Structure 1
Amino acid sequence: MIQMKKSKLIAALVVSTTLVLSACGDNSETKKNDSNTVQENNPPAQNDNPGNSPNNGTGGEESKSAQDQLVAEFDALLQEGNKLPKAFDFIEKHADSLNPERVSHLLLSVEDAQIAALGSLADRFYEGNTQEQITKIFEIGDSLDELIGKATDEKLKALLTETKNSGYQLDPTEGMFNPDPDYRVAAAYAAKATGDVTNYMQLKAKESAERSLRDAALVIGWDELLTRALAAEDFTKQYPDSKRIKEIESMLTNYTTTIFYGANNTPLFSYDNKQMDPDAQKAYESALKEAVSGAGPLLDDLKAFMDAAAKNKYKLTEILWTQPQRTNTSSRKSLEQLRGELVPLNYE
């Protein structure tokens, strides 16, 4: 059974680093990581300059040639073995000496290295009785530091320590333990990067601090889900040429799908009576009340959907209603049909 889960979970891990809701999440690593945690109430930093222009940071203290030399040293370091702990130490030591573009290069390069190393690191968590050892000492909410402190087996302690120092957290999924990039580590330096990388790292760090989904259930509020989706949508408008635009577009797609459909274990409409989740209804209506007309496609689509839902007493039935004017047609469709048009489900 473990072997079957192993292959499935490891494959999902690699995908989850670039798809937000394709993995389940919790806040097991947040309890004692206050120094790395991005404040949930703070929106991603905004850049007053267009495109990917640098923030006003403290970088650039070294000459251009000296900065180029530091970047070359970092790139060479990433070719070494056991590179990730060294890479994060390098960033800690030199981030203040580099301008925003070079800091961005360091942060995105270390992210690439984490993703590339994820599969082999995950394999080590399935060697011998490692999973069983972790299960015996793990308690819900435990941070990696706490697990390291509890571990009595030196080999396990060394693995957990390496995982932490390499910028990962431990993700318990369906009773199995796997490493996952902890974006709060890189986000600690994000303010020194360009605007798009600052925003990108902060968006990803929110998911590291508290994932949107776990075990096919929504584990954040519907209001927070909508907030994250709108932040992702804003990123796509503000930084269309960012090197991480595809990752954010994927996050936005997954957020949007969850907004309109919910999750398997947290459906937007009850499986029994087809009634909309009252908390979702309240969150969506509150957001739309505050929204400015034409704020963006997501809120426009949500308004059309909620207006139709209100006419149907927030029940997902086959009752027909007049299609909104914005579709330029007078046909009559069900709420389910409208949802499918606004947010098609793609299973390819």
Structure 2
Amino acid sequence: MKNPPKLSIKIKRNALLGLAIVVGAGAGTAAIAQSASAAPAAAVVTSEQSLGVYNQFQKYLKNSAKTPYSLIQARNYLLNHIKRADSWRATVMVLQLENAQKARLNVFSEKLFPEKVQKAIDAAYRKGGQQTGLTYSSLLKYITDDSVRALLTESYGYGYKLETSEGMYYPVMHYEGFKFFKPYIGKDIAAYIDLMAADTNKPALNDAAIVISWDELINRTLALESYVKEYPKSNRTGAVKDKLKLMETFVFYGSNNTPAYEYLAKGELTTIDPELKQAYEKALQSGAGDSRVLKTIQSVLGMLDASGDKWNGNIEKFLRDFIQND
């Protein structure tokens, strides 16, 4: 009998870069977050104002490919002027900013990996961050090296936050900061920002272990599924679908360090984690409705009841078909 696929997610140098974009770092890690003040209600703007803001933002964005500082200018400009753009242009600019931040993230991350930088950040965090939280101000209070200070200032300017896991420090997308733009943009992208912020504020995975409750894991998966149904033509539906596939794998297989089923010494699967089964049952208290995820949970529970809560070939084939046909 084949076992569920192993999820090779190790918090190492290359993996951190991927996690920064896809699943973030693990819970229990400390984050350098920027505080985003609540934005005022969107005001009525003229077509000329909106076009002017859009064109200026495009100039900064175009220059950012050659001059990284232009990305900082683009972000600051959008924060200060988005209220003068119409909803359509505001939405486009926010999506462009996210794309530009993601494109810059891997290259910028390389600057933080040298041992000198890691040691400086770690020493500062141990001196003050563990008590006050890992913030830019707490780190800069203890870091005297000008080059490291410049890197942290650059990270802040790009709009990233820092995470730490297994003794390493690295930048990730800071979707909580994107909430500032929500009053000015389309409902689908505002909802997308909420989904991404929930994950980056409290990531589901850390060092290949699921570090949120099974209940929360299922609820996040259902929220992603609902988004795809409600906004099938959104610009970010594809990204949400990719995230949904990953979360479905966690819901039904677990992860390398948090398996859904107990392993025997030979690596064979046996009994389902009792807490996961309870989470399945709780999720179905109001019925499965038209949710594909909940209907799958319902079917798996039926097979578990028949097998005495043990993994078997029927469950294996059923879940393999579910994942492949997603």
Q: Bin the TM-score by the shorter chain.
A: 0.7 to 0.9
Query: Is residue 2:6 matched to residue 1:26?
Result: no
| Contact 2:31/2:162 (<8 A) preserved | no
SS in 1 for 2:272: coil
Q: 2:293 pairs with 287, 298, 304, which one? A: 298
Give the Å deviation of 1:120: 2.0
What is the aligned counterpart of 2:55 among 55, 59, 72?
72
Q: Equivalents in 2 of 1:59, 1:98: separation in Å? A: 9
Q: Do residues 98 (structure 1) and 93 (structure 2) align?
A: no
Distance 1:345 1:239 in 2: 20
Structure having the higher helix fraction is: 2
1:281-321 deviation digits (Å, cap 9, x = unpaired) = 22221111123x432111111111122112223222x3xxx
**Match of 2:241?**
249
Aligned 8 A contact 2:41 2:183 in 1 = no
Give the TM-score normalised by the residue count of structure 1: 0.78
In the TM superposition, residue 193 of structure 1 has moved relative to its aligned partner by 1.0
Is the contact made by 1:29 and 1:144 (CA closer than 8 Å) also made in structure 2?
no
Q: Aligned equivalents of 1:58 and 1:99: distance in 2?
A: 13
State the match for 1:309 in structure 2.
304
Asked if structure 2 preserves the Cα contact closer than 8 Å seen for 1:260 and 1:343, the reply is no
The percentage of aligned residue pairs carrying the same residue is 27
- Aligned partner of 1:161: which letter? T
Amino acid in structure 2 at the alignment position of 1:73 = Q
* 1:58–1:99 contact (8 Å) kept in structure 2: no
Q: Give the alignment partner of residue 13 of structure 1, picking from 12, 17, 34.
A: 17
Moved more, 252-261 or 100-109: 100-109
Task: Give 1:168's aligned residue.
Answer: 160
User: What is the alpha-carbon root mean square deviation over aligned residues?
Assistant: 2.7
Q: Does 1:201 align with 2:197?
A: no
1:64 Cα shift?
0.8
Partner of 1:5: none
**Displacement of 1:31 after TM fit?**
8.0
Where does structure 1 differ by over 6 angstroms across 4 or more consecutive aligned residues? none
Displacement of 1:251 in angstroms is 0.5
The total of aligned residue pairs comes to 302
Shift of the 86–28 alpha-carbon distance from structure 1 to 2, 3 Å rule, reads: farther
- Any idea what SS the aligned residue of 1:138 has? helix
Instruction: Answer yes or no: is 1:283 the counterpart of 2:270.
Output: no
Ranges in structure 2 where 5+ consecutive residues have no aligned partner: 1-11
Cα gap change, 1:36 to 1:200, in 2 (>3 Å): farther
In the TM superposition, 1:224-235 aligns within 5 A as 224-235=216-227
**Partner in structure 2 of residue 86 of structure 1:** 73
CA 1:26–1:221 in structure 2 vs 1: closer, same or farther (change >3 Å)? same
Aligned mates of 2:52, 2:217 — CA distance in 1: 42
Identify the residue that residue 63 of structure 1 maps to in structure 2.
46
Counterpart in the other structure of 1:239: 231
